[in-house]
Chain A
Amino acid sequence: MISPFQERVQAALGDRNLHVALDRATAQLGGRQSMALSTLENSDLVRDVARRAKMEILSDLGGNLKRFEGQLLANGAQVHWAEDGRQANRIILEIAKQRGLKRVVKGKSMATEETHLNAALAKAGLEVVETDLGEYIVQLADSRPSHIILPIAHMTREDVGRLMEQRIGVPYSDDPRTLAGYAREKLRDAFLRADLGITGANFGVVQTGTICLVTNEGNGRMVTTLPRVHVVVMGIEKLVPTMADLDLFLKILARSATGQKLTAYTTLIRGPKKPDEESGPEELHVVLLDNGRSRILAGETAEILGCIRCGACLNACPIYKNIGGHAYGDTYPGPIGAIVTPGLRGLRDWNELPGASTLCGACREVCPVRLDIPRMLLSLRKDCVEQLPNPLGLRIGMKVYGMFASRPALYRRLAKLGRWFLRALAEEGWVKKKVPGLAAGWMRVRDLKAPAAMTFQELWRARKGGG
């Protein structure tokens, strides 16, 4: 029996096109990021202080949210609280209905991916257009983003060209510039007609009630400038204490995400437009979304709420680089997803994700706020064993293994026997036979290198004896 997760992994591993796209994307991006972070003045210290600021927020998240809310209200924004995705969507639909808003443009937002807002809006008869180029293409393909900052990391330029030809009737091209031009044309019209703009938030500053959005294309600016009403959907963990802290986060976010010093546009929003202003939204709504975050805070993986969604861990992860984002099965892919998804959606249905890691620690190395991702993955694996039912075979197997492992002499003898057995099975240095039983899963997808004639300890003794 193979699980849906294994099925997705199998499909991804066999998809040649996916690997072309992933290689082109992650290799370049990973290189740029590490360069960018290392050229930041005092980068180690900046990361330490930024991490400290996030942990300070998380050590009193409720209190900080109340202070943030107070500032937002003082700035003239309207604040809504949503326990889960369904509540968040209902709040937004209500805002739209009361004001007769029909045409929605969206900035890139992981939080609204999480709540499946687009489907909810479409079902209520609203027109919704994603305006980030990658997200627009994802929407055309009726798919999901496969990377936090590069939604179509799974597509080649040829894929995009064919999709646009089919869905919006433009001549085929594999030139990214031409393709971006097509999208610009289509989206320009949507921006000018829209009456409701919806975005996420990169940061919310507690001290001032400032919403910070970073974008490169300018779509985020369009969405927050042209429509009459602006709704921000933000996870309750996205706070930073002060503007001085925001400065540090801006320093590390773009560097870790795209390798830029700063994204082209940093937008700081502090309330709806003033009555005498010519542009900007008349109303600003902020929806504070829990959707499982308070549950994560209660446990061993609380630290993950310090994630600033830069995507650096994805590009560094050997598993992500091989299976891509869709195999993770939910909104957040990669090492971060392997922790966040079980946290938000429950460990029972997502218990395979913490296993989708080699624990090599590359994610921890590149994480700008130094989240100890491997520790949290291990902790979730421990929870899986302790809290979820384990197959009988595994339980007995671990008992038997424990029996041998705690008796060195017996263990050595058995290991010798095993080695002899495997060497007997091997052809040209590799065991290629498909075997039944415990090792079947392993052997189905790879060959096993035959063990060496002597163990390290045997070699050590032999050399010492000889020298």
Chain B
Amino acid sequence: MSEARATILARLRDAQRTARLPGERPGTPRSLEFASRSPEECLERFQRELTALGVETYLEASAADVRNRVMTLVAGRRLLSWDPELLPYQLASVLTSFIILGRNTREEQAAAEIGLTGCDAAIAETGSLVLLSGKGKSRAVSLLPATHVAVVRRGDLYFSMGEFFRKSGERLAESAGCTIITGPSRTADIELSLTLGVHGPGRVVVVIGP
């Protein structure tokens, strides 16, 4: 296949000589800077965007409140989770044996009702959750169950995606898969009529801790 590579690159070299490409508008900068915002502003915007997306949101004042909230949400349901040790607010201490881990068989995972994850970052401007893949953080957890519960630490909020990309280059480089989740799974393929929960979770719940 290196033959194809050489052929294509040679074609491109030739093409480049006659290519007609328009110049940019005079004064167009090479990149844009987007201002970051205060933590309060980020939090307010994050909640507003989540609500607009149809995401259930809980703002909790203490770690104990977060644990109680999560317990209420998952009690009695088949639960697929990140490795509990990787969840914030010592959630591991209260999650009991009904938990299914990301390393169970696919069928067991697919039978779970709730997926519980932490969150590596969150984007206020778009109401997005950023999940980086890694050991104990199976990508299936936020994907297979019909409900996804994500626990977000207030300190992990960025205002914009651009800010997150800029400040987290190294973390992004270490992770094979980064999933940015903005609201529930949706389709409008049939006559643009909105349906939630096609393949991913139709219900997304965000618990924001201190």
B19 touching A273 by the CB < 8 A rule?
A: no
**B186: contacting residue among A60, A131, A217, CB under 8 A:** A217
**Interface residue B71 (Cβ < 8 Å from any Cβ of A):** no
CA distance A416 to B181 in the complex (A): 67
**Interface residue B200 (Cβ < 8 Å from any Cβ of A):** yes
A265 touching B189 by the CB < 8 A rule?
A: no
B199 touching A191 by the CB < 8 A rule?
A: yes
Which chain B residue shows the least CB distance to A91?
A: B1
A278 touching B136 by the CB < 8 A rule?
A: yes
**Interface residue A134 (Cβ < 8 Å from any Cβ of B):** yes
The digit string for B177-207, where 1 denotes a CB below 8 A from any CB of A, is: 1111111111111111101011111000000
**A133: contacting residue among B29, B106, B172, B187, CB under 8 A:** B187
CA distance A276 to B110 in the complex (A): 21
Given A49-B28, A218-B199, A278-B103, A62–B16 Cβ distance below 8 Å? Answer: yes
Which chain A residue shows the least CB distance to B27?
A: A48
B19 touching A298 by the CB < 8 A rule?
A: yes
CA distance A299 to B15 in the complex (A): 8
**A134: contacting residue among B5, B103, B173, B189, CB under 8 A:** B189
CA distance A444 to B126 in the complex (A): 53
**Interface residue B61 (Cβ < 8 Å from any Cβ of A):** no
Contacts of A294 in B (CB 8 A): 8, 11-12, 14-15
Which chain B residue shows the least CB distance to A376?
A: B20
**B192: contacting residue among A28, A187, A245, A268, CB under 8 A:** A28
**A83: contacting residue among B2, B7, B139, B166, CB under 8 A:** B7
**A267: contacting residue among B24, B102, B137, B177, CB under 8 A:** B177
Which chain A residue shows the least CB distance to B32?
A: A49
The digit string for B88-116, where 1 denotes a CB below 8 A from any CB of A, is: 00000000000001110011001000000
CA distance A302 to B160 in the complex (A): 33
B9 touching A66 by the CB < 8 A rule?
A: yes
**Distance to closest chain B CB from A260 (angstroms):** 8
Contacts of B172 in A (CB 8 A): 208, 210, 243, 268, 270
**Interface residue A326 (Cβ < 8 Å from any Cβ of B):** no
Per the CB 8 Å criterion, the residue count for chain A at the interface is 103
A81 touching B139 by the CB < 8 A rule?
A: no
CA distance A210 to B180 in the complex (A): 14
B198 touching A219 by the CB < 8 A rule?
A: yes
The digit string for A263-284, where 1 denotes a CB below 8 A from any CB of B, is: 1111111111110111110000
**Interface residue B162 (Cβ < 8 Å from any Cβ of A):** yes
A273 touching B28 by the CB < 8 A rule?
A: no
A246 touching B20 by the CB < 8 A rule?
A: no
**A217: contacting residue among B28, B126, B180, B185, CB under 8 A:** B185
The digit string for B1-45, where 1 denotes a CB below 8 A from any CB of A, is: 110110111011111111111111100111110100000000000
**Interface residue A61 (Cβ < 8 Å from any Cβ of B):** yes
Identify the interface centre among B161, B172, B199, B201: most chain A CB within 10 Å of its CB.
B199
Contacts of A278 in B (CB 8 A): 101-103, 135-136, 138, 140
Contacts of A299 in B (CB 8 A): 18-20
B4 touching A83 by the CB < 8 A rule?
A: yes
**Interface residue A229 (Cβ < 8 Å from any Cβ of B):** no
Contacts of B47 in A (CB 8 A): none
Contacts of A258 in B (CB 8 A): 188
B5 touching A81 by the CB < 8 A rule?
A: yes
**Interface residue A352 (Cβ < 8 Å from any Cβ of B):** no
A225 touching B185 by the CB < 8 A rule?
A: no
**Distance to closest chain A CB from B16 (angstroms):** 7
**Interface residue B134 (Cβ < 8 Å from any Cβ of A):** yes
Contacts of A91 in B (CB 8 A): 1
A156 touching B191 by the CB < 8 A rule?
A: yes
Stretch of A116-124, A177-185, A353-361, A394-402 at the chain-chain interface = A177-185
Given A55-B24, A180-B190, A298-B19, list of 15 further CB < 8 A pairs?
A24-B191, A48-B24, A81-B8, A82-B4, A157-B193, A176-B195, A218-B199, A219-B199, A221-B139, A222-B199, A226-B140, A258-B188, A261-B125, A273-B177, A295-B15
Give 3 nearest A-B pairs by CB, closest first. A218-B200, A298-B15, A62-B12
29 contacting pairs across A/B (C-beta < 8 A): A24-B192, A49-B31, A52-B28, A55-B23, A81-B8, A133-B190, A151-B189, A179-B190, A180-B187, A184-B198, A208-B173, A217-B186, A218-B143, A222-B199, A226-B106, A236-B12, A243-B166, A244-B31, A244-B165, A245-B31, A264-B181, A264-B182, A264-B186, A265-B180, A267-B178, A267-B179, A269-B176, A297-B12, A302-B20
> B residues near A, CB below 8 A?
1-2, 4-5, 7-9, 11-25, 28-32, 34, 101-103, 106-107, 110, 125-126, 128, 133-140, 143, 160-162, 165-166, 169, 172-173, 175-193, 195, 197-201
